[in-house]
Amino acid sequence: MNYEVLKDAEEFYFEGNPVGVLVIHGFTGTTQSMRFLGERFAEAGFTVVGPRLTGHGTAPEDMEQASYEDWIKDVERGLNKLKETCTDIFVCGLSMGGTLTLYLAENHKEIKGIMPVNAAIYMPEMIENYEVLSKEETRFVDGIGSDIKLEGIQELAYSKTPVKSMSDIILLSRLVRDNLSKITAPALIFKSTEDHVVPPDNSHQIFEAISSVGKEIVELENSYHVATLDTDKELIAERSIQFINARI
């Protein structure tokens, strides 16, 4: 079945200078959550790619058919698109987008720097829930989108999560967690102090496990999980642009 892509969930591309930034959205979310950052990076002169992960931005039934291998291919494709015109490449991702950011840094030493935002590497509650749900006939559970402190802001995300897809983010997280020591790229790690989706301790685990010489955690005290749409989105943009400019 062909599913239509929702408005504001489309992949985006902004042509700029030879500095490329790949921006990756999260699990059950869309490119809408990363568009503000993408636009700010474009205003700074960078070339920006915001891929739509397979099965996202359409319907939960579509996501159910996708695998974490598909999502890896999506971000690899985005990276290759940037390589066509860019000499320096950076990656920024939210939540599972942060997980995929870490995956790319583990496997592509040419990446100049990473900016994961509330990246997921270990979610015990989701693992526990999946173990129970996978034994039942349940196909969908309530969605996890729009964990935003700022009132009146809505994330474009699924209202229900496919149970099958939970296994994919769990497998991806484990794969990435087991290889964190391979990361040597400079890292600017953004962490919301209050996050109702990914335990904030994930960011500390990432910080401790990666082998990067230049690494820093930036605490976001006024945002929940979807920090790229929340009160601190400007701070994320400013600090990320400074981080990139210092390395080119």
Catalytic residue among 147, 195, 230, 232: 195
Cβ-contact 122, 199 below 8 angstroms: yes
The Cα–Cα gap between 189 and 207 comes to 8
Which of 33, 225, 230, 232 is catalytic? The answer is 225
195 noted as active-site residue: yes
* Residue 95: active-site member: yes
Looking at residue 65, what DSSP letter applies? T
CA angle 235, 159, 164 (to 5 degrees): 105
Q: Is 103 helix (H, G, I), strand (E, B) or coil?
A: helix
Q: How far apart are CA 114 and CA 188, in angstroms?
A: 6
Of 25, 74, 88, 95, catalytic? 95
Torsion region of 135: left, alpha or beta (phi above 0 gives left; psi -120 to 50 gives alpha) = alpha
Residue 192: beta bridge partners?
220
Q: Which residues are catalytic?
A: 95, 195, 225
